[in-house]
């Protein structure tokens, strides 16, 4: 009986360690968020009403080499909102 309890304790500790290790490893979410400002506010409504894909169609109206250029080495521009989260729900 005592042995069985001990074994379960070790198991629980083991599970806790695995969970902690997993949380520790998860990278911090670092990609900049879509600001909630005059330029971007309307997209919050579009995302809510029609989804991310509908909103993304407009990003490159401003985010292009002429208006608001991307930082150097910016990754694939496909699906902005897959990487850039909205700043609020
Ligand atoms: C009307 C023009 C315009 C449109 C459309 C637009 N943006 Fe922007 N965006 C800007 C400008 C200007 C800035 C830089 C100033 C700022 O931070 O607001 C910017 C900055 C950003 C930033 C960086 C914020 C930071 O923390 O530095 C992200 C991310 C971004 N936009 C994502 C998007 C996405 C995704 C879309 C499409 C859903 C979009 N933008 C559509 C004008 C626009
Ligand atoms: C594959 C992921 C990914 C996709 C897709 C993506 N980005 Fe980015 N973007 C990044 C990363 C990573 C950075 C650099 C780190 C940061 O500043 O967030 C960045 C930086 C930016 C910046 C500069 C942010 C700043 O703080 O100066 C803007 C603006 C931006 N992205 C807009 C867009 C727009 C608009 C789209 C869609 C046309 C898009 N991104 C698609 C990952 C992505």
Q: Where in the chain are the domains?
A: 2-83
Q: What's the gap between Cα 36 and its chain centre?
A: 16
pLDDT digits (tens, 9 = 90+) for 39-83: 999 999 999 999 999 999 999 999 999 999 999 999 888 899 999
Instruction: Work out the average pLDDT over 5-29.
Output: 82
- pLDDT-derived band at 2 (thresholds 50, 70, 90) equals low
Question: Which ligand neighbours the alpha carbon of 30 most closely?
Answer: 2
Average pLDDT over residues 14-32: 81
Considering every ligand atom, which ligand is closest to the CA of 34?
1
What pLDDT is attached to residue 44?
97
CA of 54 to the centre of ligand 1 (A): 16
In testing the pocket of ligand 2, which one of 47, 74, 77, 82 has its CB within 8 Å of the most ligand atoms?
A: 74
Q: How far is CA 47 from the centre of its chain?
A: 15
What distance in angstroms lies between residue 30's CA and the mean position of ligand 2's atoms? Answer: 11
């Amino acid at each position: 009986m005592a042995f069985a309890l001990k074994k379960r304790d070790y198991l629980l500790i083991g599970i806790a360690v695995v969970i902690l290790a997993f949380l520790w490893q998860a990278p911090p979410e670092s990609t900049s968020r879509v600001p909630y400002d005059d330029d971007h506010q309307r997209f919050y409504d579009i995302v809510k009403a029609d989804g991310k894909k509908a909103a993304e169609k407009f990003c490159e109206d401003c985010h292009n080499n002429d208006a608001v250029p991307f930082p150097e080495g910016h990754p694939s521009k496909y699906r902005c909102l897959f990487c850039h989260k909205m700043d609020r729900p």
